Amino acid sequence: MNLGVVVIYSSIDHFLWPRLREQIEAIADDAVVVRRTHLFSGEKEPLHDLGLRTLTLPLDHGIDHWEQMRRMRFAGVRNLHPGVTHVLLLDSDELFEVERLKMHLGDVPTFFASEWYWRTGFVKAVQNNETSGLLCRKTDLLLDTTEGDRERMAHGIQRPRPERPFVHHYSWCKPLEQMVRKVRNWTHKDDKPWESMLLHEWRQPLPGTCFVHKNRRLVRCIDQFGIGDPA
């Protein structure tokens, strides 16, 4: 196996990047980071040197947000070295346990169950059915898919449920200012009035469940990757 990693990067997740870069370098034979010149809101991205081969693509306001995400992933895959046989597709808010991921490299194509992190101070949403990260053979990628994102990018997707998730999704583990940037710019931004919902939620004491997924119970947890409190 020759593993290539493609990461969709946003500066909103910059505080995670040093750790994610270390993880990628520990497991990948090749890696491509893909980012845009601007966020969906039109805000200009700071084009820092990320330390890995990076593609910077223009934002196209005339194209659906999900389609832009697909095109970013496809561009990354096409720029991997020709010898790459397997591809891991990540977002820049997903960290993983390197040794446990290595144990699953033969299980392709597959998604990895994840734990989902909430607010600051390291609170996680306890659940069993979210999946993050796609690993598959490069030849199995459906580069012409027009539906979904990673969920439809490979033939024969399996959805394993490891007893303990080893991909950790820091989607909502950010201080309020960064969370406002996130909901103004993520691909779900037109689904709901996220900003007003977010501001209302952050004024309240920490609830028992997260407001995005009401069934996900929130518990305190440790900073297992040593990234520090994003606050």
- Residue 89: the pLDDT is 92
119: left (phi over 0), alpha (psi -120 to 50) or beta: left
Residues 6+ apart with CB under 8 A from 214: none
Would you say residue 29 lies in a domain? yes
Q: Confirm whether 158 is domain-assigned.
A: yes
Per the domain annotation, does 89 fall within a domain?
A: yes
Write the DSSP symbol of residue 63: S
Please name the helix (run of DSSP H) or strand (run of DSSP E) that holds residue 157, with its range, or none: none
Is there a domain that residue 203 lies in?
no
- pLDDT tens readout for residues 89-131: 999 999 988 998 888 777 666 666 566 676 666 677 665 556 6
What is the dihedral sign for C-alpha 103, 105, 108, 109?
Answer: positive
In a domain, 136, yes or no: yes
Percent of the chain's residues with pLDDT above 90: 29
Residue whose C-alpha is closest to residue 72's, from 40, 48, 36: 36
Residue 217 lies in a domain: no
Question: Could you tell me if residue 188 is inside a domain?
Answer: no
Which residues of the chain, if any, have pLDDT below 70? Answer: 107-116, 118-122, 125-131, 144-148, 155-165, 229-231
Global model pTM greater than 0.85: yes
- Per the structure, the complete domain to which residue 20 belongs is given by 3-114+130-163
7 near 17, Cβ under 8 Å?
no
73: domain CATH number is 3.90.550.10
Q: Helices in 186-220 by DSSP H: which ranges?
A: 194-202
Q: Is residue 85 part of a domain?
A: yes
What confidence score (pLDDT) does residue 135 get?
84
Q: How many domains does the chain have?
A: 1
Q: Are strands 167-172 and 110-118 parallel, antiparallel or unpaired?
A: parallel
Please say whether the beta carbons of 2 and 88 come within 8 A. Answer: no
Tell me the one-letter amino acid at 219. V
Minimal CA–CA distance to 77: which of 140, 167, 158?
140
